[in-house]
Structure 1
Amino acid sequence: MDTAGVVLTAIGTVAGLAGAYFAWLAVRPRRKAKAAQTSASSTGQGKAAAVGAKYDVFVSYAHEDLDWVLGLATQLEGAGLVVARDEVILKPGDLLVHTIEEAIRDSADSILVFSPASVASGWVQQEYAALMQRSIEAHRRFIPVVIEDVELPAFAATRYYADFRDVSDTEYERVVAKIIAALQS
């Protein structure tokens, strides 16, 4: 291997390690969360407060699916849940990655809306990685929500998902009620 190859390999390795470290920082469990959970449970506060979270649920989605997501978010909020999604948490001038990381870290649970647009989105793929890692390491609920025909990634496919493909209005309401019940438990 020539010198340029060695240098590029070293740079790639360092970049990969730095990326993994910052992804871990975004989803690492906080020590304060356990103490907050005990305190909130004894005072009868909601789930977000019980796990030391600011939001009940973080919703990841592709912007092409915004109209559909707004309908779901409205129903979740109507049930008293505090929903974090980009349009709610971002303010002009915010650093996207830091604000999203903070919202993921400050959410009790998460939802990822799967559609062809979200599966193709590099940004949603990064959120998926952080959400899944947090779900596994911090034992937080991760709910895949399928709104169009897509192949779920391997880890998401291990979860019971909410299927909204070709549902009637009555069935839609029933599936939303199941999501709400899961997020409130």
Structure 2
Amino acid sequence: MEAAGLIFTAVGTVAGVVAAYYGWAAVRARSQSRAQGSRPPLPSSGSRRGEPAGSVYDVFVSYSHDDADWVIRFVERLEDGGLRVARDEVVFKPGDVLVHAVEQAIRDSSHGILVFSPASMASGWVKQEYATLMQRSIESGRRFIPLVIKDVELPEFAATRYYADFRQISGTEYDQLVTRVAEALRS
């Protein structure tokens, strides 16, 4: 069992390094094109004050499909509050290359949420999305909000953030916490 844990840790570390490299390469390429006289992209017509230029979505939500029922309910609440939410089922179209569609959705989102559960911590896709969301938050100041829905140990970088703890709450407490998350995404 220890060997499996070491393998998952190594794979996650390599994935994080690869994601960081591609992020660095993209930022470097963008900087070089601007230095050569290219104009930065114009803000999209849907851009709101305080949002990065070109944002199509207010937030990208990363999660495991094992948690889909919880996530769908949560996302509906954000959307009812007027937020534009990107998640896999919203951004994928038949024939899309999955990695490119996810990458574009993250790029088109102002902020990121990751739903932490044992299932999400075991998902290779979620680990990749975590690395990208965390890197964007560190490098460009975009908000990254961890949501804890089941008992799980947060990775060290995520643990540095104030997280929204949805374990064992319902009713008014749930509504209040969803409102607080929505307000944080708007600020």
Normalization by structure 2: what TM-score?
A: 0.78
1:174 equivalent in structure 2: 176
Among residues 45, 50, 53, which one is paired with 1:51 in the alignment? 53
1:47–1:67 distance in 2 versus 1, CA, 3 Å = farther
Secondary structure in structure 2 of the residue aligned to 1:110: strand
**Greater Cα radius of gyration, structure 1 or 2:** 1
Structure 2 residue 137 is the aligned partner of structure 1 residue 135: yes
Alignment length, in residue pairs? 165
- Where is the helix percentage greater, Structure 1 or Structure 2? 1
The structural deviation recorded for 1:26 is: 6.5
Structure 2 residue 62 is the aligned partner of structure 1 residue 63: no
Secondary structure in structure 2 of the residue aligned to 1:151: coil
Alignment of 1:3-14 (within 5 A): none
1:124 equivalent in structure 2: 126
Q: Which runs of 5+ in 2 are unaligned?
A: 1-15, 35-39
Alignment of 1:148-163 (within 5 A): 148-163=150-165
Q: Which runs of 5+ in 1 are unaligned?
A: 1-15
2:80 equivalent in structure 1: 78
Runs of 4+ in 1 over 4 A off after TM superposition: 16-20, 25-31, 47-50
Normalization by structure 1: what TM-score?
A: 0.79
The structural deviation recorded for 1:48 is: 7.5
Among residues 81, 87, 90, which one is paired with 1:88 in the alignment? 90
What amino acid is the match of 1:22? Y
- Partners in 1 of 2:114 and 2:147 — Cα distance? 6
Identical aligned residues as a percent: 62
- Partners in 2 of 1:49 and 1:69 — Cα distance? 23
- Partners in 2 of 1:104 and 1:161 — Cα distance? 20
- Partners in 2 of 1:168 and 1:55 — Cα distance? 27
- Partners in 2 of 1:73 and 1:29 — Cα distance? 34
